[in-house]
Amino acid sequence: MVFELPLLGLTIGFISGLLGVGGGTLLVPALLYVGYAIKDAIGISVIQMVFSSVFGSYLNYKRGSLPVRNGLFLGLGGLTGAQGSGLMVTLFSPLVLSNIFLFSVCFAIYKFFRTIPQSDKPEINSNIILFIVGFFVGLIAISIGLGGGLYLIPILVGFMNYDIKKAISMSLFFIVFSSISGFISLSSFGHVDYKVGLIVGVSSLVGVFFGIKSAHIIDKKLQKKLLLGLYVVILFLTINKLYV
C-alpha cells in the first residue's frame, strides 16, 4: 500500500477536479477492491473529499467560475443533512448501504443520459430549493461515501437547468460542506481511518490541480460523455465486487 494509496489519491483527485464529483464515487469501489470493508471505505473517502473539494473550490473561485451565493445555500443544506450520516452508517447494514450506492449510480446514469449539457430554459435559482436539495443530498450521499456530485450534477443540469460547467463547480463547492460535516459525524461514530485518509487526501491535491485546469479547457459535450462513462465504470465495478 506504500505506492498504491498515493497513486489512488492522485487519480481520484484529478477526476474530482475534472468532473466535480466527490472522490468517494470512485474511491469507495477502489477501496473495496483492495480489501477494505464498506464502512471503512466510506470513512476514508470522506477525508479525501475534504482535501479535494476545499482546494478545488478555491481554484474555481480564483478562475471566476463559482457562483458563491447559490453555492452557499446548497452547501449549508448539505452540511445540515450530512450530520445524520454517522447515524445512518451505524443503523444500516453493509448490504443496504451497497444497494443504496448502486441505486444512486443507476439514477445518475438514467437522468444524466436524458439531459443536454446546456439547457435553453431559465435556471432555477431559488435559495430555498437549493438548501432543500442540499439537505437530502448531504444526508444520503455522505452516508454511502459520496460527496454528492453523483446526485447533484444530474439534479442541477437535468431538473434545475444549470450549465454543466457551473453545475460541476457548484457540486465541488457543495462537497466542501457535506464532507466536513460528514467527517465530523462519521468520526463521532468511529468510522474513520485517519492515517489512510490523510495519505489519500494529501496526495489527491496534485490531481485536483490538474483536473481543474483540464475542466476549464475541454468541451461541455465531452465533459458529459466523461461523466456518463465514469458512472458506467463505477456501476460495473461495484456490481462485480459485491455480487459476482
List pLDDT tens digits, range 82-138: 888 888 888 888 888 878 878 877 877 777 777 665 667 788 888 999 999 999 888
Average pLDDT over residues 190-201: 90
pLDDT at 74 over 90: yes
List, in sequence order, every beta strand (DSSP E) within the chain.
none
pLDDT in tens, 35-45: 888 888 888 88
Number of H helices, E strands in the chain: 11, 0
Closest CA to 57 of 140, 213, 172: 172
Say if residues 63 and 216 touch (Cβ distance below 8 Å).
yes
How sure is the predictor about 147, in pLDDT bands with cuts at 50, 70 and 90? low
Structural domain that includes position 229: 4-243
> What's the predicted TM-score (pTM) here?
0.78
How sure is the predictor about 20, in pLDDT bands with cuts at 50, 70 and 90? confident
C-alpha cell at 86: 454517522
Greater pLDDT, 101 or 190? 190
For the chain, the average pLDDT equals 84
Span of 5-14, 50-59, 215-224, 235-244 with lowest mean pLDDT: 235-244
Number of domains in the chain: 1
Interatomic CA distance for residues 221 and 227, integer angstroms:
10
Say if residues 112 and 231 touch (Cβ distance below 8 Å).
yes
Say if residues 176 and 75 touch (Cβ distance below 8 Å).
yes
Interatomic CA distance for residues 211 and 207, integer angstroms:
6
pLDDT at 144 over 80: no
pLDDT the model gives residue 2: 60
Taken in order 8, 172, 74, 224, is the CA torsion positive or negative? Answer: negative
pLDDT the model gives residue 73: 94
**SS3 of residue 29 by DSSP:** helix
pLDDT at 1 over 80: no
